[in-house]
Structure 1
Amino acid sequence: MIIPDDKDWTWVLEKSCADCGFDPQAVAFKTISTTARSITEEFAELLGDATLEQLTDRPDDATWSPLEYAAHVRDVCRIMHARLNLMLVLDDPDFANWDQDITAESQHYRDQDPDEVADELVAAGDAMATALALVRDEQLGRSGRRSNGSRFTVETLAQYFLHDLVHHAHDVGLSTA
């Protein structure tokens, strides 16, 4: 089992990520949907181009395999899409807790079919990208709260979401990182 990541990554909304280079100040909201769609498509290409051994190999005991990262990115797209929808419909909703590490283990990310993950990833990425593209300027300030109390606006949720995709693309060596 991978050691759970218990960091609060919300700091990436205030400063650049030294690991992947993501800079929230350099990201215009209107570009997030296109970038997210591009990254999810690159992940899907990776899943189609690599061997199963390459996709399931963990570089070390503390790092997910490319297949696990792809399944995680798929689920990030799904979770953030649901959260975005809540923010657009409800006033300041609370988000249900989501533990990415428990999900990776319980859903057996490493054992999932790469072709299915690729298809689901592209669909989830497209759904989130489309939802983001439909957000109106006056909706950017709508808010919601994560279970640990972190507050997001639609705009910062989108930035946080994009960082997750960029960071994991970097983790597996994709060019969009």
Structure 2
Amino acid sequence: MSEPLTDPGPSTPDDADWTWVLTRPCADCGFDPAALGVADAPSLLRDAGQRYAAALGREDVRARPADGVWSTLEYTCHVRDVCDVMRGRLEQILDGGGELVTFGNWDQDATALERQYWRSDPQVVRRQVTTAFEAAATAYGRPSGPQWEWPALRSNGSQFTARTLTLYFLHDIRHHLWDIGDVNA
């Protein structure tokens, strides 16, 4: 019989505005928006999905590297949800037909607490993350031509297009691979 799970407490909230990654490389994970094209998104997402699924097999999948820092399991639950949110946002842009759309607010920290990421079953999350990345990859393979420039606003007023949303999403996925120690991030 396994030991009961103990709530590790909340992670340190991330209130940074990461939109700067659209204009310059990330010194932490090495993401460079100028080095990627949106056509790369489906293959990059599928590859990342496999890497997160593999990371769930680690013996220390539940271990937090420091107080307030998510475990590999928690980061993987987060990126699963990010895939769903970002897929939904791209679909909202495409459904808008070129008219400005506004994204609803998504509080990632509240979601982590509400869904109790730390309690998740890694085997269940492996299936979920694989499905979420595949659905996102399929969605990000849909836009073409002028659709990439269709506009959107985030609830905080940050401006996006389908193109910049894609790059922002790809950074988030890559950065969290770096967070979990994926040396190929």
TM-score normalised to structure 2 length? 0.91
Give the alignment partner of residue 66 of structure 2, picking from 60, 84, 92: 60
Secondary structure of 1:133's counterpart equals coil
Report deviation, 1:99. Answer: 0.9
Report deviation, 1:175. Answer: 3.8
Secondary structure of 2:149's counterpart equals coil
Secondary structure of 1:55's counterpart equals coil
Equivalent positions of 1:50-89 (< 5 A) are: 50-51=58-59, 54-89=60-95
Q: Which runs of 5+ in 1 are unaligned?
A: none
Does the CA-based 8 Å contact 1:55-1:66 persist in structure 2?
yes
Q: CA RMSD in A?
A: 0.9
Distance 1:116 1:143 in 2: 35
Secondary structure of 2:152's counterpart equals strand
Deviations 1:72-110 (A, max 9, x none): 000000000000000001121111101111111111001
Q: Which runs of 5+ in 2 are unaligned?
A: 1-9
1:92 aligns with 2:100: yes
Report deviation, 1:134. Answer: 1.8
TM-score normalised to structure 1 length? 0.95
Give the structure 2 partner of residue 32 of structure 1. Answer: 41
Secondary structure of 1:18's counterpart equals coil
Secondary structure of 1:129's counterpart equals helix
The alignment-based identity, stated in percent, is 44
Report deviation, 1:3. Answer: 1.6
Indicate the structure (1 or 2) with the bigger Cα radius of gyration: 2
Number of residue-to-residue matches in the alignment: 174
Moved over 3 A (4+): none
Specify which structure has the higher proportion of helix: 1
Secondary structure of 2:157's counterpart equals coil
Give the structure 1 partner of residue 160 of structure 2. Answer: 152
Deviations 1:130-172 (A, max 9, x none): 1111211221001111110001100000000000000000111
Distance 2:36 2:184 in 1: 14
Give the alignment partner of residue 43 of structure 1, picking from 52, 64, 82: 52
